[in-house]
Structure 1
Amino acid sequence: MFLTPYVERLPYPSRTVQRAIGVAAVVTQAGIGVTGSVVRVTGSGLGCSTWPQCQPGSMVPVDHAQYQTVTQWIEFGNRLLTFVLFVAAVAAVLAAWRIVLDHPSRRRLVKLAWTLPGGIVLQAVVGGMTVLAKLEWWTVAIHFLVSTPLVWLAVLLLRAFNEGDEPPRPVVPPLARKLLVPLVVLMWLVLAAGTTVSGAGPHGGDPGTHRFQAPIETLAQIHGGLLVAYLVVLATFGLALMRGPVPAEVWRRYGAVWAVALAQGLLGSVQYALGVPEVLVALHVLGSALVIIATAALWCGSRDRGAPVSGTPAPRESGELTPAR
């Protein structure tokens, strides 16, 4: 590619820099969902009434008879955070690209890194459609659900910076390995069901937006039932781990999943009992991101791809330059 000569001039990212970029990707991908929930609970979803402009004829908030200045800035601020998200994603791509120039076997790392900016562009388009659709509840649900795989992929990227590229070798018993797939499927079903509860709830992002016309009690029961199913599979996974020697790291990750899942379930119950207060909504969205992160970390920890080979530049003779590829 024509950018390769410029990328090869970049300093080779150290192990510390690689980890920092991976962590930044996870934090930003998870954080944008939380700030989006703040937009929703403050009724600022249509603070900027159009997209990509904030108001017709202006990219930034302006005095407007219909839209309050504070709601405009809350929505506009969330849009600006997309650029922070994109910067973190571009840093991941550049780091992975610089690594593969010295270690050509690390192409999986590059592919994972490229999913982030691509996903952000898709998410921005979906966000624009959501605004143009006046925050119809199902568009908001899609907007949230599109962001969840990006959190998962960011965790896989962080792991990829810290492992090799050998064929994955399972480090858990066969039954536990098989249970990971239904565990992940149930996790996303819980998230999808949660969007229907939000769609029928009081926080639509704007007082005039349409809500999902379904009994919220029934939707909450379905959401809670799927969480119970997730926890049952998680418990079965733990029993399966006892059938063979398992690295201590896997048990630590397994315990982390239990901690965040139970905390999320408790928070959801309290939130429902108290009438869905705004602060708890944002915390519940944060909890959703933590469940994804913990489950993805357990998924990654269940197999081994060998030691990382890209912690340092490839050895070369003095004066030799990295060949362009």
Structure 2
Amino acid sequence: MQSRTTILFGGTKVGIQPSPVLAAFSSRCPNSITPEILKPDIIAPGINILAGWTGAVSPTGLAEDDRRVEFNIISGTSMSCPHVSGITALLKGVHPEWSPAAIRSALMTTAYTTYMNGGALLDVATGKPSTPFGHGAGHVDPISAVNPGLVYDINADDYLNYLCALKYTPSQINSIARRNFTCDSSKKYSVTDLNYPSFAVPFPADTGSNTIKYSRTLTNVGPSGTYNVTVSLPDSSVEIIVEPEAVSFTQINEKKSYTVSFTAPSKSPSTNVFGRIEWSDGKHVVSSQVAISWT
């Protein structure tokens, strides 16, 4: 007896809510190697993506499958990578002078973490609002990323200084740099000085009050103006001090630095507090996620 199967087209559904959501199998923080760096950077569409497909292989990849298709449905957060890569290429086309770090910063500081109704992005793994440990800076917003106002730029030496802070050996650093680079023994290197667009702040649990200081540098990629900082954090026991509280720019590519001091009391292990630091000139909002944890 032969059986028959019929596939019927059910139409295209739009306006499904909530959308987007964080996939249950998406990678999560905290960063086990360098807890001072918040990961992931950002999230993007990755589930049931209709993608262009090579005609050199079948949809299944099996040798006995002789079918050939132009497009195929692919699932997995790995499909977020080509989306972000494509957006990166578009940004590079608009701003060919931007470095990879500047492009990443533009994507991160303009990402969104709420729906149009104001609700927080949903995490499918928990059924609760997602946190920066899941969505990083948030969901990518290509239109906003074209005009971020300010960026957190990073050059090659900044990364090498970061390796010095991680206590890499000279041979390890030179193998990465592919040139001679020596850590300055008179200089105090810190992982918290890497000019990253977000803040992950790990405190030791149950050891009393502690203060951790981070330094950052903003580069103007927009019009002249003055940016004022605002800090939002739901836990009043944690103090965040940004100095200075305002920075002014008069020309393109001008740089201004600031420091952030996080002071917090001891808390039980695995406690997490999330917030954000935002710089705004009234038109642009340069947003940095803050993830504070006690380990």
* TM-score for the superposition, normalised by structure 2: 0.29
Instruction: With a CA cutoff of 8 Å and minimum separation of 6, indicate the structure with the bigger relative contact order.
Output: 1
> Greater helix percent: which structure?
1
> Greater strand percent: which structure?
2
